[in-house]
């Protein structure tokens, strides 16, 4: 179990595209700069495109550490980032996620597509199954995740979710909210 006040490595899940709203890229840069300033290492999917590349570049330009984990299958598709502190090539997507989860103290989710949601829901499920016990931060950039959060609330209301897993999820609107989390654990979102 990881102490919530010790966020030394954060796994970030986000899109290999930038999306249509410029706020998504702005938030990725702000998070990358915050991570480097706070000496929090980034572990992520290893790509150079989209929000993934923007985030990694932001951490690196401020002197932070970045580990990318990419399956051999995606080396050309996602175009691996060539300037990382460390790039780990794995056999498949499952091994990528396993490595991301095992190397982090917490997970942070920026806007993204199906892959991002897959990573989010798998880490929530692994918390639920007590495979690990890690906080999960959803960055709700310009309300991007509002509909998903409403759906999660509906799933809870209909009796399909475990409160213990929900207690590990926090929604933030700006990166500075992570500072407060490191010292005072906020009230669970779905309580």
Domain ranges of the chain: 9-179
Q: What is the mean pLDDT of residues 4-24?
A: 91
Both tokens of 72, joined, read: 């051999």
Q: How do beta strands 41-44 and 9-13 pair?
A: parallel
Query: Under DSSP, is residue 48 helix (H, G, I), strand (E, B) or coil?
Result: coil
Per-residue model confidence as pLDDT tens digits over 113-137:
999 999 999 999 999 999 989 999 9
Q: How buried is residue 21: exposed, middle or buried, by Cβ count under 10 Å (0-12/13-18/19+)?
A: middle
Both tokens of 170, joined, read: 């926090």
Closest to 105 (Cα-Cα) out of 2, 19, 186, 16: 2
Predicted pLDDT of residue 6: 78
Q: Give the separation between CA 86 and CA 27, rounded to whole angstroms.
A: 23
Say if residue 1's pLDDT is above 60.
no
Q: How far is CA 46 from CA 6, 90, 130, 180, 190, in A?
A: 24, 11, 27, 28, 32
Predicted pLDDT of residue 183: 66
CATH level 3 topology of 9-179: Rossmann fold (3.40.50)
Instruction: Using a pLDDT cut of 70, give the percent of the chain over it.
Output: 91
- For residue 88, the surrounding DSSP H or E stretch is strand 86-90
Global pTM?
Answer: 0.92
Q: How far is CA 95 from CA 4, 22, 69, 88, 92, in A?
A: 25, 32, 9, 11, 5
Place of tokens 């407060």: 180
Place of tokens 């010790």: 6
């Amino acid at each position: 179990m990881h102490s919530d006040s010790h966020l030394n490595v954060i796994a970030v899940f986000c899109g290999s595209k930038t999306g249509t709203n410029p706020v998504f890229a702005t938030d990725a840069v702000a998070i990358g700069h915050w991570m480097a300033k706070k000496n929090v290492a980034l572990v992520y999917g290893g790509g150079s495109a989209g929000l993934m590349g923007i985030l990694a570049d932001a951490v690196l330009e401020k002197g932070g550490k970045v580990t990318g984990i990419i399956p051999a299958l995606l080396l050309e598709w996602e175009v691996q980032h060539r300037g990382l502190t460390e790039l780990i090539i794995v056999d498949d997507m499952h091994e990528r996620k396993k490595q991301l989860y095992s190397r982090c103290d917490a997970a942070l989710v920026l806007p993204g597509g199906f892959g991002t949601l897959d990573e989010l829901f798998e880490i929530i499920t692994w918390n639920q199954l007590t495979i690990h016990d890690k906080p999960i931060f959803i960055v709700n950039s310009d309300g991007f995740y509002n509909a998903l959060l409403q759906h999660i609330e509906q799933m809870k209301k209909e009796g399909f979710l475990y409160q213990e897993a929900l207690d590990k999820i926090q929604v933030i609107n700006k990166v500075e909210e992570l500072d407060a989390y490191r010292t005072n654990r906020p009230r669970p979102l779905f309580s």
